[in-house]
Structure formats: C-alpha cells, structure tokens
Amino acid sequence: MSGPGGLSALGATLTWAKLREVKCAELEEAADGWGRAGNRADAARDRIDTQLVDDLRRTQKGEASRAAVRRLRRLSMNFQYIYTECGLLRTTLNSLAHEMKAQQRVLQRALDDAAALKFTVHPDGSVTYPAAGEGLVDGKPLAGGRASGVPNPGLAGPSGLVAPNPNAAKAQDIADRVARAVRTAADVDWRYAKILRGLKAEDGLSVPTATWTDAAGDAAAVRQAAHGYLAQGIPHDASPAGRKAWWAGLTDEQREEYLAVYPDQIGNLDGIPALVRDAANRDNLQLLMGKLAGRDDGDAVTKLAALREIDRQLRAVREPGEPPMYLLGIGDQGNGRAIVSYGNPDASRNVAAYVPGLNTSLDEEFARGDLKRARDTAAAAREIDHSTAAIVWLGYDAPQSPDGLNSLAVASTERAETGAHAFRGFMSGLEASNDHGDPHMTAIGHSYGSRTVGAATQQGGGIPGVDDIVLVGSPGLGVDRAEDLGIGKDHVFVGAADNDVVTRLPSKEQGLLAAAGRALGPAGSLAVDVVHPGDDDLWFGKDPASEDFGARRFTVDPGPPLIGLGRVTLDAHSQYFNPKLDSASADSIAMVVAGRGHQVKQEGGR
Amino acid sequence: MTAVNNDAEFPAVYARTPDGFGVRLRIGGKGQAFFQVDTPCVRESAVADPTTKATAPLYEGEFIPRPNIHSDFWSAEAPEVGVTSGR
C-alpha cells in the first residue's frame, strides 16, 4: 500500500517557514481515513468468517460449496491484510504528525522569543539583533549583528572571541533552536517517508506467506517509529485492575491504534478484557506466522507448525454446543507462549487454568494435545454448569527433557518459580477482567506444571482468586501438606495413576522403578537409579497423593503399565484429562472446575 | 465397573473392559443426562451427520438448553432432592 507522499520532498529543502506551515491536522485526518478503511475491512472479514462461511458450511455440501468457502477464505485473508496495513498506515501518519508537531512547537517558541526581543528571523534561519549594552571604551551601545544557527551546537564550541553585545548570545540561542527544529523535522520526514514507502502490498489477490512476512517487518518498523507516540502509554507496571481501567478510559480511536500496532503487547497484557486480547492475538498470530515463515531454522519450523494448527482450530466451524475458543496469549519468545480459553473467561462464573509441564513447548503436539485437554475439561464442566471456561496456559518455559526422565532428575525449581510469577499475574488479570464479583477459579497443574502451581501458592498471598487446586501426574510440588497451599486442604484435589512413573519418582514403591531400570538400563532413558530411601518423598517433596499430604484424592484409571506389550510407555502420565481413556478422572477434574469439588468421588491416599 | 459416584445431584457410573470398550453415564446440571460409549478405535474418524430429518428442535449456538419440555407422563411433578425442575 502506498502512503501519501506529500512530505517526501520536504527533506532536502526544508526551511523553518515550511515547517511552520506543515498542516499536521491534515496528516491526522488522513490517518483517520485509513483507520476507517481498516475498520471496514475488519468488519467485512468478521462477516465472512462468522456468517458467510459458517452458513455455507452448515447448509451446503459438495465441491461447489467447498470452492466457495476457499474463495471466501481468501477474501477474508485479503481483508485481514488490508486491516493490518491500514492500521499501520494510520499509526505511522499519526506518529509522524505527533513528532512534527513537537518540532513545530520548538520552532514556534523560538520565533516567539525572537519577536519578544524584536529580533528578526531571516528565511535562511539566521537571526539579526539590534545594538545593545555598553562599549568598554566609549560606553556607547555595541553594534547589532547576525547569528547563524547550528543544528548541533555542542559541536561548535565558543570561540572565546564572542562579541560582548548581550543580544548576541540570545540571538545565537534562537538561531540554534530554529536550526535544530528544522534539522530534526527533516530527519523525521526522511524516516517516515521510508516507512510509508515500505507499506506496500504485492500485486494480485492472493496473500501469500511472503506478504505476511513483509507485514511482520512493516509492523516492527512502525512499532519502532511510533514508540514515543504510543508505546509509552501502555501501563506495563500497573496492576491488572489498573490496566483494565486504563483500557476502559481510552477512546475508540486510541484502542484501535493500540490494537493495530501493538497486538503483541495488548494481547498478552493481564487485566485487559478477554475479547480484546483475543482480537489482538488473532491479528498477531498472522504476523507471527509471517515472521516465522521468513526463517528456516528448526525452532521456527516447530513453532510455525504449532501456530498454524492453532490458527486452523480458531477458524474451524464449531458444532452446536461446543465452547468457543479465545486466544488469550501468543508469542514466539523462549520455547513459545500460547494461552487458549474454551469459553469466555470474563463472562463465566467458573474459570480454570491448566498449567502444562515437562516437555511442553509451542509445538504441534501442544497445539493438538494440550489444547484438547482444556477443551475436554470445558466441555465436561459445562455438563455440570454452562457458565464455565477452561484455559490452557503455556506462559512459561517448561523444562525440556529430550532424553526421557533423566532431565527431570536435574530439573531445578527455577523455571517453576519464574513460571509461578507469570501465572499469578495471569490469574490476577482473569480475576480483574471477570464480570462476576467473585468468580470460582481453579488452578490445574499437570506434571512439572503442578510444581509451578505449587510455587505460585507460596509467592505473595498465593494464587490470586483461586478457590480450588487440581494436581495430576505430579512429581511433587515443593509443599509438604495440602493445607500449606493456602486455600484449605478440602480444596486440593489430586489424581495419581498407579502406573504413572512420574508420580513415583522416586517413591518408596521401588519395585516398579527397579523393573524399569532393568528393562531400560542399556537404553539409559530413565533415571531410575536415583531412587533414594525417602518415604513419600518425590523429587519436589511429599507425594501429594499420599495420606500424609492430606488432599482429596479422586479415582484415576491405573493406565497402561510402564512396560507392556513389549515396549516402554509413559501413557499413564498423560490420560488424566482424556474423556475416552479415563472419563472418571476427566469428570472429576471437570466437577472441581465447575465448583462442585465437594461432590467428587473420593478415595483414600496411597 | 471402574468408578461409581453416588452423589445425589450428579451421580455417575463408569465401566470399562480390559480391551478398552467403555461406557459412561453421568447426570449433569438440571438433570441433563450424558451417555458416552467408547470403542478402542484404530483410527479417529468423524461421525457423519444423520440423513433423516430431525423430529425434535435442533439447537444452534454455544449452549444447548437443559431439559425444558414438560411431558404429563414422563416429567416429575415435584422436583427431586437436589434437582431443580426444568419447567
């Protein structure tokens, strides 16, 4: 897209007179125009995605309707791209006007000072001043003169032969300020002309990946340029409630600009309403996919596959009764970030967040498996209470163990502590943005994620807003007693499959581990030789499924044995949420999530 | 029988054979019953939509209503313990 080139000729020949006449209001009007165009594109995209495609898919079958859906998808992508680029153009123009106005103010103050002193500012920026002061010899006023401005006064040191006319220094100062304003404005003009020239689309109707890669670059350039104009306003240091209030206090125009230029920041800001985060992250998802498609390293390929799968799910047509998806966070930093909610977490009375653990990162397995856990949990909880949302929260770098459980042995608690801090921020944001006075909130930790949840309960005043905690497949959580989690031990629920080796690491049941050790010794994939003679002690403290821990233990299928059918399987560690493989466990988790934990079928500790 | 929850409001039974065939019956909110049967499928496959015309209202949208039709024969006159009448 090409921007208006009105200012591009300014750079070479800019004078203070021209700078004074630049009509910034016109730039802002142009920006508003791009904003309106972008909004229309956004509305059109929305109409295609939520009405036309859905209706077509529901009512029509066959090749013709599939072809029509493909065409509509392409049209939708076109509108999405138009929306993104219009938003960038709008903010570029507003930011340009913002910076130009600043220089106009500097210039105007210098001109006002000159007028007050009765100095004359010449078209070339030099300043003449009248006679003043007293001569040392004859006492007559010293002759007037003319000062030329230096854009960079620091470089031109005083000569030591400065005329003693007191007006000379003042005139020099005014001339310098004029020169600086003109020079800075010329720089601004040059910078923005370059950005605007870059905001151009390829010819043709298709929006190939390369175009999104280009759009990601555009967004980065505009973000950098607009830093002073927009980014400083984002209240990163405020509380979630403060951020919610900040967003509520913005005008529609301001919100649109933040969403267009900083979807990455708004989308991941705890305290911002879920619908806003979702809209921002869906836009940022396209930019992130474009950015990663421009790289060909393994990390980018892995994350891109995950993002594409998430994008596919976001666009899929939902069956009646299925909870809708909200993208509450997305990012490519570290091992990748993704937060997906099934059900609107602001509108729901019950909100649960599941923290995944060992070996979780933003890859295709996460995008399929971990998202499904949240979706299944939401669906089962909604059988009990419609007003429920379940979230999968990958907001931290979970430990990775390419060599099986060996790495768990050396996994420190550092990532849990760091993750716990981020998780508390997220839950605090959910609490602030929820429409209900006191929503029922549940934290679910699986595997190392339970260690992260455990750490979060020990920081500050515990996990904000959380009423119930569910721990499944836990290697221990760094806390010895359920009551130490700070929510009452009757609100702590534990699921531990008999054959889940992670929940036995290294417990007193050494038989299983010893057997595993014998079977796997040569392969060396399991660190089973680390068994120490502790009683209920797991890696990270007391076994939460033990009697002594004092939590409510719910019934869980034992799962397939570690060594069965001639192969080693850790599947018993991964079916707690699965409504097909262990519906009793999945239903128990769902009942806690729906606020009916006291009605969960309990069994004794082990 | 792998698990039974004899809660008055949300009773549920779960059964499974050693080779993975499973049945689950659970009563959810407002007396809605949920019945699920699992077979150890080799491959995931989508279930095709029925080809016959529906004889009851089809529901769209996020929330399928709880039982909300009264039958003089089937519907209980008084709400049972812990269950809210859908009338």
Q: Burial, A453: exposed, middle or buried (Cβ in 10 Å; 0-12, 13-18, 19+)?
A: buried
* pLDDT class of A539 with cuts at 50, 70, 90: low
Domain-located, residue B48: no
State the Cα torsion A258-A264-A270-A272 to the nearest 10°.
Answer: 30
B10 and chain A in contact, CB less than 8 A: yes
pLDDT one-digit tens code per residue, B12-43? 999 988 888 889 999 999 888 999 988 887 67
List the domain range (segments joined by +) for residue B73.
1-40+57-87
Mean pLDDT of A357-380: 94
In the prediction, which pLDDT does A137 show?
Answer: 64
* Angle, CA of A493, A500 and A363, to the nearest 5°: 90
Mind telling me how many Å the CA of B71 is from chain A's nearest CA?
Answer: 23
User: Could you give the C-alpha distances from B40 to A2, A293, B16, B43, in angstroms and in order?
Assistant: 58, 38, 11, 9
In the prediction, which pLDDT does A8 show?
Answer: 46
Statement: residue A362 has pLDDT above 90: yes
In the prediction, which pLDDT does A562 show?
Answer: 76
d(CA A367, CA A313): 9
Domain-located, residue B87: yes
Domain-located, residue B33: yes
Structural domains counted in chain B: 1
In the prediction, which pLDDT does A534 show?
Answer: 39
A325: nearest Cα among B47, B44, B60, B62: B62
Domain-located, residue B51: no
Longest dimension (CA), chain B: 46
Averaged pLDDT score across all residues of chain A: 85
pTM: 0.81
* pLDDT class of A510 with cuts at 50, 70, 90: very low
User: ipTM value of the model?
Assistant: 0.84
In the prediction, which pLDDT does A27 show?
Answer: 93
Cα dihedral sign, A570-A572-A575-A576: negative
Q: Which of A324, A383, A600 sits opposite B26 (nearest CB)?
A: A383
Among all chains, which residue has been given the structure tokens 């004899």? B6
In the prediction, which pLDDT does A161 show?
Answer: 52
Statement: residue A170 has pLDDT above 80: yes
Domain-located, residue B45: no
State the Cα torsion A518-A519-A522-A527 to the nearest 10°.
Answer: -70
Measured between beta carbons, the chain B residues lying within 8 angstroms of A323 are 62
Statement: residue B84 has pLDDT above 60: no
* pLDDT class of B79 with cuts at 50, 70, 90: low
pLDDT one-digit tens code per residue, A198-232? 887 767 767 777 888 888 888 888 888 887 787 77
A319 and chain B in contact, CB less than 8 A: no
Mind telling me how many Å the CA of B59 is from chain A's nearest CA?
Answer: 7
SS3 call for B47: coil
Mean pLDDT of A513-541: 45
Domain-located, residue B7: yes
Instruction: Report yes or no: A355 and A311 within 8 Å, Cβ to Cβ.
Output: no
Domain-located, residue B69: yes
Domains of chain A listed by start with CATH number: 333-603 (3.40.50)
Label residue B61 left, alpha or beta by phi (over 0 means left) and psi (-120 to 50 means alpha).
left
Q: Decide which of A161 and A252 is more confident.
A: A252
In the prediction, which pLDDT does A226 show?
Answer: 83
B26 and chain A in contact, CB less than 8 A: yes
* pLDDT class of A349 with cuts at 50, 70, 90: very high
Domain-located, residue B61: yes
A-chain residue closest to B9, CA distance: A599
In the prediction, which pLDDT does A518 show?
Answer: 44
